[in-house]
Structure 1
Amino acid sequence: MCRGEAAVPRAEQADRGLELLLSKAYLPADFDQEVFDDLWTTWEMPLRSRAERAPVEQRRRMAMERYGLVPHPRDPSRSMQYVVDAEGRWVMSCLACHQGQVRGTAIPGVPNTSYALETLTEEVRLVKVQQRKAFSHMDVGSLLLPLGTTNGTTNAVIFGVALMRHRNPDLSIVQRPPRFDLVHHDMDAPAWWHYSRRKSLYADGFAPKGHRILMQFLLVKENGPEKFQEWEDDFRGIESWIESLEPPPWTGGIDLGLADRGRAVFAEHCGSCHGTHGPDGVYPDRIVPIEEVGTDRVRLDSLTAQERGQLNDSWFGHYGSDAVGMKDRESPTGYVAPSLDGIWASAPYFHNGSVPTLWHVLHPGERPTVWRRTPSGYDDARVGLEVEELAEMPPGRLRSSDRRTFFDTRKTGKSAAGHDFPDALTEDEKTVVLEYLKTL
């Protein structure tokens, strides 16, 4: 049994894990309260004019809405995504990508599909220049490494590759020049309530599952190997909280007759990859070959077996003296078919977040070329994000913050093609499957 687990009940570990995410800083600060409170000065008109006239608390709410931040349950003027210390310094946590809202309500572990990380960082830099404050690691790093080209998705996989480049297997720091040949691509964060069912992590299933792997994004130069050892027990608690999460139930009406018919269609056409659900459900954790699923392959091709192996052969892939055997997963042939528990709440869909609703998943030929979500709207009929669909990007030169509100499926790594299996279904079968998916 791991250190710390014998004396602490699982539920208590989970509660402690959530509290750590909300209150303990593991990274250097990105900005301070003074910077956050002046972000409105960088906004476009007429939003900037509205913010200028607004009281401070309203201005903070406007900022959180702009950047996709969720109000903290104990202090709505703060964000759940950042730990704010006594000096007013804001430090990013894992919840930045893994705590969002659906229909304006925070759901534990739901992906933050509104997070405007690149826009936030750009505008933080502008304010810091005005205030003559030093740039943080995020401010500097984002000049070399794109953070995300569409709100709600991030270049997280390449963050990990870039950070590991400067570490030995024992996580001691080694100086190497940055790489400029990385294949940048955006990913949609997974729903954390799937964690307990997974046998491995990431879209291609190459990484070992465990508390250590959750720590890899702490690899800034300020955190030497001793910090990871010091914080390991913290992340046992954080993992316990993640494993405790349950999929949220659908909050609307369900036609149980249609859903029951959909269950049979799903079992016949979808269950071999996505598994079965309910108390006796079985999840196969199956990698579907890319030639079979046909979804965007940039994520699959962006990592080499050597890069996957560097992570697995490091401290992150070992627990005490026991190595996790993942060698057969370091050259994956496709993507892991996810469990679909709580699928209604985790839009958009596919590993790159390219498909806005389950209706579009079930209708491959109707997927929009370009789409933009409404600020917090939810499409109950099509089950997913409420979106504006376009054939092209708007004409003219867009402000970068506006451009990132659009998802253009023609861009590298953003294709919505593939997973054409629903083409084998009749329209009636698609309708009943959609109703069934609400029950998961």
Structure 2
Amino acid sequence: MRRLFPALVFSSIALLTACGGGSSGGVPASNTGGNNPGGNNTGNEPGSTQEFELLASRRGGHYWHDFCAGKPDSTVVPADPREMVVPGVNAGKAVLMNAWWQTCQQDNHPGTCGELRRRDAEGLALVAAEGRPGAASMFAGDYSTSMFSFAAADYAEMWDSIWNLDERPAQFDELVAQRWGMPLSAVKNPYPLPGEDPNTSNGGSGQLPMGVTQLREADGTWTGQLNVTCSICHGGGVGTAQDGEGLGPMYGTNSLSDITVMFTDLARLAPQQAALAIIAQNKVRGTGNITNFQLFGTLTLADFQTLPGYLSVQAEPSTGTEDPPVWWNVGSRTAKFYDGAQKVDAKRIELSFHFPDFFNDLEGAKAWVLANQQDGDAWISGLKSPEWPEGKLGEIDTQLAEAGAVLFHAKDLWAAGLNNPSPRPEGGNGSCASCHGAYSPKYANDSAYLDSPLLEGVASYITPIDIINTDRARLNGNSERVQEYSKENWFAYSDGPYNDDGVSLCGNWADPSLRQEVELGYLAPPLYGVWATAPYFHNGAVPNLEAVLDPSQRPEIWRRNSVAAPAGLEGQVVMGFDYSLDTGFDEQTIGWRYEELACEAGTSLPIPLIGVTIPLVDCNPVMDDGATLQDGLALLWGNGGLAWNLLNVPIMTDAQIEERKIYNTNYYSQGNSGHEFTAVLTAAERRAIIEYLKTL
């Protein structure tokens, strides 16, 4: 890293000096670190001379994986540091915590580093799939057959059967990846071309996108049948492997895919896929509806006593548009989902997409999940975030980043004179770290910030909705009726253990019996690798970090840039979002390049046989009171989650696919409000904080 001292830093240093080191609200901020990084309640000891650096990052993952690095298999694995997050943790300290840990699995602890490594290896094959022996796929467990599978020969002919091209393009595999928005796998992920025997060609000479896998027998025999995997929602790409370590196609992040388009195509290859094709898995490319309670309940409909509860939630609000969170931060969380409504150790749900043959053998499906959940979670929670590629995007200005580290951890956004109009959280020091956690070793080893340095990077604060003020649709979707239904659901641990009210401790923590004084809101996420996770907010409504910190810069309607079609195929194929660091990434604002659209710039799409048009970006009022059709749809979707999924415009043309790239913040669940408390930052402070976030 280069060390520069531009005028911007002078301004930042002056501001920090005026803050007196950032102390506020009775919470001191010390300038020295602790002298026992491995213990509890260490922090800054009187007379300590040990200094900790401002800039360093463990890049997410899980403490266990870091602990076991380079150690023998027989090494005993210590306790999970997240188990410290219980009521009373960090009382009176700078970092707030209220999303408590709950142990949900008897075999949660791996015991030894060897067992952790075994779980990690099995989990890689299981969840990443990509043709590995032991790969899991949609509703098929890790079995070699599936009612949802489709023939590789049919997949290889999509250029004709779906795209209506005159001949198979040389870039066919890449064009499938572009159309569906999921990169080609970085490893060999083969399928046989027409006429090929997969067992004499090492699976075939074709290359699949990372969200599809070829099924295999237990002995490794290839079947020539394909199925989709978790990576349709949780696989993405940032740059190329040549840009830097960890870049290119990557697991556990996705702002690229259009899974509704994918299932629409697959329905034409395999009729059994049609059930998923008619459901709006997402309405905007790069997003999903990954915690849709109305659809999720179908997985346990074979448990017929839950049917009345399932039917009761169909009129509850849809959770709407969501941006799947990154997996490399799973090991730094104590709770799942954007509202923190399920504990991170409640692992059953992580394999729900692989729930095998649940209508014919529900108990067998449950047993499969229980037998594999630890392996899947061990791999997911051990993933690391990519480093900022200095050789590609420019060196980090170390001096500016250090100033940003202090601002991030110590600047009180509600300090006197700032006149911050947003409500202030109760407790903490009013800084970014107060909600998102402490990352800098200087502060992670400061007892004024954390009870233990082992809590470095752990984010476990559910910010009340009246403070964070981001779109409420996701929160509204986890309604009181949904909470009641959750008590019956196996994935929400209807089998206990229970509290005194009979509510499962690993169930839905939106239930007031579990959360008690904790207000409903959104869990502030860990920020490892945050530079690579645009767009931002739980619904992906904000295209870059600059606009997160400065609400005035957020576009109302925008469309991320796409890759140009190959020469000769212009207008004949659909291309995906540009995730190149050369042409797609904005290293100044930290996010993806986009174009802003005017409200009247969109088109209206007809619904066949009904004669109604759905304007994607038309904000013209249709009512005397100024209400638009979008407002009317929001009322419908806000009172009927099933309608969000089933009242979906059938995708029949490439023009419709292109329209799905538009992000309209006027649409239900897609608002870009919130996080307004950072508006009090100056331009100099924003630049310094962003420079610091690059280092995470």
Q: For this structure pair, what is the TM-score category when the shorter chain's length is used for normalisation?
A: 0.7 to 0.9
CA distance in 2, matches of 1:3, 1:228: 17
Asked whether 1:365 is paired with 2:499, we answer no
Selected match of 2:685 from 417, 429, 433: 429
Q: Conserved in 2, the CA contact under 8 Å of 1:101 and 1:110?
A: no
Q: Which residue of 1 aligns with 2:117?
A: 11
CA distance in 2, matches of 1:278, 1:313: 43
In structure 2, runs of 5+ residues without a counterpart are 1-105, 130-134, 140-145, 191-206, 216-221, 241-246, 412-430, 445-455, 499-503, 513-518, 562-576, 606-654
CA distance in 1, matches of 2:260, 2:298: 22
Which segment drifts farther, 317-326 or 348-357? 317-326
Q: Where do residues 153-192 of structure 1 align in structure 2 (5 Å cutoff)?
A: 153-158=287-292, 160-164=293-297, 167=300, 180-184=314-318, 185-192=320-327
Asked whether 1:134 is paired with 2:268, we answer no
Cα distance, 1:173 vs structure 2:
7.8
Q: Which residue of 1 aligns with 2:188?
A: 74
Cα distance, 1:218 vs structure 2:
4.1
Q: Conserved in 1, the CA contact under 8 Å of 2:294 and 2:314?
A: no
RMSD (CA atoms) = 2.8
Q: Secondary structure at the match of 2:522?
A: strand
Kindly tell me: are residues 319 and 391 of structure 1, through their superposed partners in 2, closer, same or farther at Cα, counting changes over 3 Å?
same
Cα distance, 1:358 vs structure 2:
0.5
For 1:346, give the aligned amino acid: T
Q: Which residue of 2 aligns with 1:330?
A: 511
Q: Which residue of 1 aligns with 2:398?
A: 256
Kindly tell me: are residues 10 and 424 of structure 1, through their superposed partners in 2, closer, same or farther at Cα, counting changes over 3 Å?
same
Asked whether 1:148 is paired with 2:282, we answer yes
- Based on CA coordinates, which of the two structures has the bigger radius of gyration? 2
For 1:352, give the aligned amino acid: N
Q: Conserved in 1, the CA contact under 8 Å of 2:149 and 2:227?
A: yes
Cα distance, 1:311 vs structure 2:
3.5
CA distance in 1, matches of 2:178, 2:523: 33
Q: Which residue of 2 aligns with 1:342?
A: 529
CA distance in 2, matches of 1:364, 1:102: 25
Cα distance, 1:180 vs structure 2:
5.0
Asked whether 1:270 is paired with 2:432, we answer yes
Q: Which residue of 2 aligns with 1:61?
A: 174
Selected match of 1:224 from 346, 362, 369: 362
1:44-86 superposed Cα distances (whole Å, 9 cap, x missing partner): 7xxx64x73513xx21211111111222311361122122223
Which segment drifts farther, 28-37 or 289-298? 28-37
1:286-311 superposed Cα distances (whole Å, 9 cap, x missing partner): 11111111110011111213423544
Q: Secondary structure at the match of 2:599?
A: coil
CA distance in 1, matches of 2:121, 2:168: 40
Q: Which residue of 2 aligns with 1:34?
A: 153
Q: Which residue of 1 aligns with 2:416?
A: none
CA distance in 1, matches of 2:470, 2:109: 42
Q: Conserved in 2, the CA contact under 8 Å of 1:39 and 1:124?
A: no
Cα distance, 1:429 vs structure 2:
0.6
For 1:91, give the aligned amino acid: N
Kindly tell me: are residues 312 and 9 of structure 1, through their superposed partners in 2, closer, same or farther at Cα, counting changes over 3 Å?
farther
Q: Which residue of 2 aligns with 1:97?
A: 233
Q: Which residue of 1 aligns with 2:137?
A: 25
Q: Which residue of 1 aligns with 2:595?
A: 388
For 1:83, give the aligned amino acid: T
Cα distance, 1:223 vs structure 2:
5.7
CA distance in 2, matches of 1:115, 1:393: 26
CA distance in 1, matches of 2:461, 2:110: 30
Selected match of 1:194 from 319, 326, 329: 329
Cα distance, 1:163 vs structure 2:
3.0
In structure 1, runs of 5+ residues without a counterpart are none
Asked whether 1:308 is paired with 2:438, we answer no
CA distance in 2, matches of 1:278, 1:94: 33
CA distance in 1, matches of 2:475, 2:107: 33
Kindly tell me: are residues 254 and 65 of structure 1, through their superposed partners in 2, closer, same or farther at Cα, counting changes over 3 Å?
same
| Higher helix residue share | 1
Q: Which residue of 2 aligns with 1:112?
A: 254
CA distance in 2, matches of 1:231, 1:337: 29
For 2:467, give the aligned amino acid: E
Q: Where do residues 277-288 of structure 1 align in structure 2 (5 Å cutoff)?
A: 277-278=439-440, 280=444, 281-288=456-463
Kindly tell me: are residues 285 and 303 of structure 1, through their superposed partners in 2, closer, same or farther at Cα, counting changes over 3 Å?
same
Q: Conserved in 2, the CA contact under 8 Å of 1:373 and 1:405?
A: yes
For 1:109, give the aligned amino acid: Y
Kindly tell me: are residues 283 and 6 of structure 1, through their superposed partners in 2, closer, same or farther at Cα, counting changes over 3 Å?
closer
Cα distance, 1:356 vs structure 2:
1.0
Cα distance, 1:3 vs structure 2:
8.8
Which segment drifts farther, 102-111 or 383-392? 102-111
Q: Which structure ranks higher in relative contact order (CA pairs < 8 Å, sequence separation ≥ 6)?
A: 2
For 2:115, give the aligned amino acid: P
Which segment drifts farther, 64-73 or 215-224? 215-224
Q: Conserved in 1, the CA contact under 8 Å of 2:386 and 2:532?
A: yes
What is the TM-score when the length of structure 1 is the normalising length?
0.87
Q: Conserved in 1, the CA contact under 8 Å of 2:469 and 2:675?
A: yes
CA distance in 2, matches of 1:2, 1:134: 40
Cα distance, 1:341 vs structure 2:
1.1
Q: Secondary structure at the match of 1:64?
A: helix
1:327-350 superposed Cα distances (whole Å, 9 cap, x missing partner): 653255211111111101111100
How many pairs are equivalent?
424
Q: Conserved in 1, the CA contact under 8 Å of 2:189 and 2:210?
A: no
Kindly tell me: are residues 11 and 304 of structure 1, through their superposed partners in 2, closer, same or farther at Cα, counting changes over 3 Å?
same
Q: Secondary structure at the match of 1:271?
A: helix
Kindly tell me: are residues 270 and 4 of structure 1, through their superposed partners in 2, closer, same or farther at Cα, counting changes over 3 Å?
closer
